[in-house]
Amino acid sequence: MLDGWARNRIDPGISLLAKAFARAGVRANAVTLAGLALGLAAAGLIAFGHFLPGLVMILASRLCDGLDGAVARIHGKTDFGGYLDIVLDFAFYGAVPLGFIMFDPSANAVAGGFLLLAFYVNGASFLAYAVMAERRGLETDARGDKSLFFTTGLAEATETLIVFVLMCLFPAWFPVLAYAFAAVTAYTTLSRIVLAAREFG
């Protein structure tokens, strides 16, 4: 829901940084892989109770997630780059809740499991919609120039980042935040299914 608002505010700075990276010869896929490495480092730090360093790694990872597309637009986008970006994004989204589960399984495992289930089903609905949209030749620029057809929703990247930040700042709240965001994510999935029924039925 907030991705469009966030893009309008951060894109100018991202574009300047991307030009510097491109001049240095850094390729988009390297930035994507760096984003995953930072995200996995965040999950590892969280698993050992280092929440604030984990938060820093999360923010750095998401900076890479915004930066790789901007670098790709300079060097030239590839289908593999778009594929790698979305796969590793989902890996990041799963790794952070897993870090909290590993930190305190007795308190966090059930709530974290619900959140991971919600992420899993939402990801499937997102990717399946993109496949069907491609088959029908549909296009959208609602979230900028993307490799896949992006459907908007209540739970997008910006909302997920905000929830992860809150989890790191208030780790004792993880179960409540996880249940709440699982519900928001489930609503996004159901909304996308309704949209698919209208568009593809």
The pLDDT tens digits for 43-93 are 999 999 999 999 999 999 999 998 998 898 898 889 899 999 999 999 999
Contacts of 30 (CB under 8 A, 6+ apart): none
Strand locations in 17-74 (E): none
pLDDT in tens, 144-163: 566 666 677 777 888 999 99
Measure CA 169 to chain center: 19
**CATH 1.20.120.1760 applies to domain 3-200:** yes
Residue-level pLDDT at 4: 59
- In order of 100, 107, 179, the CA distances from 113 in angstroms are 11, 11, 9
Backbone torsions φ then ψ of 142, nearest 5 degrees: -60, -30
pLDDT (average), residues 93-114: 98
pTM score = 0.88
pLDDT at residue 33, rounded to an integer: 97
What pLDDT, on the 0 to 100 scale, is given for residue 46? 98
What are the extents of the domains in the chain? 3-200
Q: What is the mean pLDDT of residues 191-197?
A: 92
Mean pLDDT of 28-53: 97
